[in-house]
Amino acid sequence: MTETTRRFKAAAVQAEPAWLDAEAGVAKTVDLIAEAARNGASLIAFPEVWIPGYPHFLWLGAVADQVPFVGRYHAASLAPDGDGLTTIRRAARQHGITVALGYSEKDHGSLYITQTVIAADGSVLLHRRKLKPTHVERSLFGDGDGSDLKVVDSALGRLGALNCAEHVQPLSKYALYAQNEQVHVASWPCFGLYRDLAFQLSAEANIAATQVYAIEGSAFVLMATQVISPAGIDVFASTPEQRRLLTPGGGCSRIFGPDGRTLTKDVDEGEEALVYADIDLDEIDLAKNAYDPAGHYARADATYLVHRREARRPVVREGSPAEAVLPAFPALDDEIPEP
């Protein structure tokens, strides 16, 4: 049984990615990890596909217009056994901090919207893929499966994570609530896309969805978001119409308590910052006394969830295990210099 620290400081990232540049993205990630650790944080949460940044090109025109970006995006994505992720794991170990990283995972020819939670010793606690990419994301990314809906024990309590609009999937949320999640990482892109055109994609709507997650799950929720600058928009937008669809700012990182309270001060939507909150896991018991939808407040005689935990594979070899197996993350050899 993992010994749990009941009180600690957590940080959520609000920053601009190094668009389509894995090397620069890894370097910025290591810098933010060091900054959070210097400020006393034991956990840092990063946005959705922080490396190599959210693929805004998917939303800005015809499929044919995406072609110049797809190869670049694939090349800038991270493989679990690659140098980039290994460098980030070493940074977590060097600074003694748990890291919840959102990134585009490269698995040979396929990409996935992935979250990997790295313990303070550099080991991997959780590796999951977004169960269903949202809308046009499906033209670039593949699906996760039921084995990805997992909460894990850690030194900081029971940790779980979801990406973006997974926070409006009631059954996926309920699967994590039922695993007694205590600290949840909600990874989002920026909210400068389709501003004033699609309220479902707005900061207001998705802050509300994330806050509801905290209330329903009686969990601390770290909401990490990206920012996009005018220079970032230049990467993706080349016409007046595209610039109308993608506007600067879009950051709204914050941390919610298990009763839904906002524990952090708001920062400007265009500002790069780490937002911090003090976590006290004992507050969860009080919150659950009111609402515990997968516990005393459940009515399994009326409704219940079937959660299939088996990994979905295109080829099943006789005698092979059905459960999910972590990718081959390399060992962090102490003989390799730390960053």
For residue 14, give the nearest of 339, 259, 199, 264 by alpha carbon.
264
3 state DSSP class of 75? helix
User: Taking the chain (339 residues) in consecutive chunks of 10 residues, what is each chunk's mean pLDDT?
Assistant: 85 98 98 98 98 98 92 97 97 98 96 98 97 97 95 98 98 98 98 94 97 98 98 96 96 98 97 98 96 95 94 78 71 59
Strand runs (DSSP E) across 164-246, as ranges? 183-187, 220-226
Asked if 235 contacts 192 with a C-beta cutoff of 8 angstroms, the reply is no
Q: Is 310 an active-site residue?
A: no
Q: Residue 45: exposed, middle, or buried by beta-carbon count in 10 A (0-12, 13-18, 19+)?
A: buried
Task: Give the active site residue among 16, 23, 48, 166.
Answer: 48
In this prediction, residue 335 carries a pLDDT of 43
Strand runs (DSSP E) across the chain, as ranges? 7-15, 41-45, 98-107, 110-118, 124-129, 152-154, 157-163, 183-187, 220-226, 254-256, 273-280
The pTM (predicted TM-score) of the whole model is 0.95
